[in-house]
Amino acid sequence: MSLSFDRIKEKLNILADAAKYDVSCSSSGSVRKNNSDGLGDSSGMGICHSYTEDGRCVSLLKILLTNHCIFDCAYCVTRKSNDLQRAAFKIQEVVDLTINFYRRNYIEGLFLSSGIFKSPDYTMERLVMVAKKLRLVENFNGYIHLKSIPGASDELMREAGLYADRLSVNIEVPTISGLKLLAPDKKHEDFTKPMLKVKNEIIQYKSEKKIIKSTPKYAPAGQSTQMIVGATGESDKDIMYSATHYYKNYNMKRVYYSGYVPVAEDSRLPAIGTQVPMLRENRLYQTDWLLRFYGFGVQEILNNDHPNLDMDVDPKLGWALRNMQYFPVDINKADKSVLARIPGLGMKSVHKIISARRYRKLNWEHLKKIGVALNRAKYFIICDSNSWEHKDIEGTKIKGLILQNSVGKFRKEYSNQLQLFS
Amino acid sequence: MNATKTFIYDGSFNGFLTAIFVAFDEKTRVADIQKNTASQSGLFSETESIFTQMDKAQRVWNGIDKKSHTAIKDIYFAFLSETKGVEMLLYSYIRKMFTTTTSISSDYSDGTVLKISQLARSVGREKHRMEAFVRFQLTKDDICFSNIEPDFDVIPLITKHFRSRYADQQWLIYDVKRKYGIFYDLNQVEIITLDLDTAYTNSLNKSVHFGEEEYNYQDLWNNYFKSTNIKSRINLKLHKQHVPKRYWKYLSEKKAV
């Protein structure tokens, strides 16, 4: 017994280490009720069971089935030419790990990806077998996210969606030219074909479900994708326009942005030791959020005049400073969509303001109590108080005032980055 | 006019609701509402002991719930925060509810309402954290056992979550601070009080109650936790913000071995 545990431990170290660059950790968006007194229940809301020392959420057992790979993509740590220890899990081993971790409340479920051994279909088939065994043999209702293998066949993608809650294919490099450069063995269609299949299956499932209640679920948490940021010279505009394309044309639930962690000595890539662009990654997520929940159009935030996001201020503040003609906004009168565009106001504050102003007109004190970040918001609003902080100050001046009075979490790193170029 | 009174109740939520019932029913001028374990008599008020009566408690619960479902949830959550003086805060909140015609639970510009909703939020946050940070250890007699030590009394709030998630295993979640727990025997969840001589935390030495396999899985999880960290992105401040240090001793991935 202890012998096999040692071997499993070794495999787990290798195959978790190789899987960690996939940033998706979501375990939400899928309702899978435990109706059978079996194991597990997904309520639709994800739970982060722990956080790594780099601050990322751990909600799923995220591993590769194997890190053997027939491909040689420059950005990938498991690429063929990389000299590293290889391992592969047996199907039953992944099932046992998932069940035993889940029973101890370590995880919400499994995120299984893989290097490609033999062929895309051979690999995909094994991923599907793990999910199938978990559902049918172990009666497991926790979350399963399978990574689709680029180039896998439609039949396997269909089967995968019957057992997985979410499917994803990582497009990795945001531009087609970048992909050609870094992953010469892969074609753009290898990534988009499985996505298209999943999208169509979901649409079909939804229409059948309306007629036949018992239609088996198909990837109820939808599909997601990831792109690596900062490996090739693309602009933020390239990245976000590409993301918008995938949201729109493939019904993506989420697009993840992963700051490139140098894992290879390669002349096409940033050198090992280059700082991970975490601030940029953060700005991209903020932008993604503005597009999905705040009613912004991508061209408002990024365009030819403004192809890259500001590093010193968040994208909403950046947009507001370039569009002072929309301000100040009257907190006590403005519509929800207008309130959502005020820097320093999150959607939660917006909802609270709308609720609270039914009782009385709101002033600075109220807004502060509600949790509005007044250090930013005060330049853009009027409320039930005489003093108005805006007083026709121009955007650049406001920016200076805000930066002076704030201690952003990235201030230190930001100044480090500046020093690099000075 | 009635003299002011201090109510002493048994510390249970139903006891508290009974006190509210009595206060309204007898039109009492309430000076304070105190738990019997922590009562301090006021100088200028007489005390009255409240005996929990389910039917009275139920009527207050229904009355509030009928007015606003958000309010009853906020009241219950805020009560479980065990914050000193929360009873009087809740009393004034409930009085306010019954004297206005509109729902007050979203009037965040009112100090009492805001405070209650904030307390409820803190308790909600810890409820969520306990759903995340329970670490079951499998005993030799096949019970999944967990110690917790939450700031707030959240066990009543997490029962349903664990019941629906772990329907096919026996489990026990024990609150070390409040010395009671919940036990699921494959049929139902019961509240139990235990006097454990040792807290079987994950950071202490191995205990004879758990088998070798249990420690193997803890070891695997601990290893997984370390392998999945990206060293070039390390951010301990963020880590501690998400996983507050006070919980560490109960987390198998943070054990110091």
For A5, which of B216, B221, B227 is closest by C-beta distance? B216
Q: Is residue B90 scored above 50 in pLDDT? A: yes
**Which residues 6+ apart lie within 8 Å of A75 measured at CB?**
A172, A173, A182, A183, A228, A231, A260, A263, A264, A269
Q: Are residues B116 and B141 in the same domain?
A: no
User: What's the pLDDT score for residue B182?
Assistant: 96
Count of the separate structural domains present in chain B: 2
> pLDDT at position A388, please?
62
B120 plus B202 within the same structural domain: no
pLDDT of residue A410: 47
Instruction: Give A32 or B2, the one with higher predicted confidence.
Output: A32
Q: Kindly determine whether residue B230 and residue A360, on different chains, have CB atoms separated by under 8 Å.
A: no
| Cross-chain CB nearest to A38 (options B131, B168, B216) | B168
Residue A384 in tokens: 């039930």
| Same domain for B250 and B183 | yes
> Which residues of chain A, if any, have pLDDT below 50?
1, 410, 413-422
The interface residues of chain B toward chain A in range 13-32, judged by CB-CB distance below 8 A, are none
Which of A34, A50, A261 shows the shortest C-beta gap to B253? Answer: A50
* Contact check, Cβ <8 Å, B217/A8: no
Do B160 and B138 fall into the same domain? yes
Q: Please provide the average confidence, as pLDDT, over all residues in chain B.
A: 88
- Cβ proximity of A59 and A107 under 8 Å: yes
- Closest residue to A105, CB basis, from B102, B134, B243: B134
Q: Report the SS3 class of residue B228.
A: coil
**Final residue in a domain of this structure, among B90, B125, B160:** B125
% of chain B at pLDDT higher than 70: 92
Read off the pLDDT of residues B174-216 as tens digits, 9 standing for 90 and up.
998 998 999 999 999 999 988 776 667 766 567 888 888 899 9
Is the same domain home to B59 and B149?
no
A39, A40, A54: residue with CB nearest B235: A54
Q: Which residue of A has its CA nearest to B128?
A: A47
Do B206 and B179 share a structural domain? yes
- The answer to whether B136 touches A105, Cβ cutoff 8 Å, is yes
Give residue A421's pLDDT.
Answer: 38
Does the beta-carbon distance from B213 to A352 stay under 8 Å? Answer: no
Write out pLDDT tens, residues B144-174: 999 999 999 999 999 999 999 999 999 999 9
Q: Is B100 on the interface with A (CB under 8 A)?
A: no
Is the domain of B139 the same as that of B249? yes
Distances in whole angstroms, Cα of residue A74 to Cα of each of A150, A261, A406: 16, 12, 40
Contacts of A48 in chain B (CB under 8 A): 132, 242
Buried b / exposed e across B57-75, counting CB within 10 Å, b at 16+? Answer: bebbbebbeebbeebbebb
Closest-CA distance, B60 to chain A, in angstroms, reads 26
* CA B159 to chain CA centroid, nearest Å: 11
**What residue of B is the nearest CA neighbor of A261?**
B232
**Structural domain ending residue among the three candidates B125, B158, B183:** B125
pLDDT number for residue A416 = 39
Categorise residue B18: left if φ over 0, alpha if ψ from -120 to 50, beta otherwise: alpha
- Residue B158 sits in the same domain as residue B215: yes
Same domain, yes or no: B28 and B82:
yes
Closest CA to B24 of B60, B52, B55: B60
> What is the distance in angstroms between the CA of the first residue and the CA of the last residue of chain B?
67
Structure tokens at B81: 């925060």
Q: Percentage of chain B with pLDDT > 90?
A: 54
CB B207 within 8 A of CB B140: no
pLDDT at A408: 56
Looking at the structure, tell me whether residues B143 and B111 fall in a common domain. no
User: In this structure, are residues B93 and B68 in contact, taking their beta carbons and an 8 Å threshold?
Assistant: no
DSSP string of B88-121?
HHHHHHHHHHHH-SS--TT-TTSHHHHHHHHHHH
pLDDT the model gives residue A420: 39
End residue of a domain, out of B72, B103, B125? B125
In our burial notation (b when 16+ CB lie closer than 10 A, e otherwise), range A243-281 reads bbebbeebebbbbbbbbbbbbbebeebbeeeebbbbbbb
What is d(CA B66, CA B50) in angstroms, rounded to the nearest whole number? 25
Range of the domain at B187: 134-254
Q: What is the pTM of this model?
A: 0.86
Report pLDDT for B230: 81
Domain match, B173 and B105 both: no
Written as six digits, the tokens of A336 are: 């929800």
Cβ atoms of A404 and A396 closer than 8 Å = no
Peptide bond into A328 cis (omega under 30): yes
pLDDT at B233: 79
Task: Say yes or no for a CB contact (<8 Å) between B233 and A352.
Answer: no
User: Cβ contact (<8 Å) for B220 and A55?
Assistant: no
Same domain for B84 and B139, yes or no, is no
Of residues A103, A67, A104, A101, the one with CA closest to residue A87? A67
- Predicted local confidence at residue A422, as pLDDT: 31
Residue bearing the bigger pLDDT, B70 or B119:
B119
| Rounded mean pLDDT, B9-28 | 93
For A405, counting Cβ atoms within 10 Å of its Cβ (0-12 exposed, 13-18 middle, 19+ buried), the class is: exposed
pLDDT at B33: 92
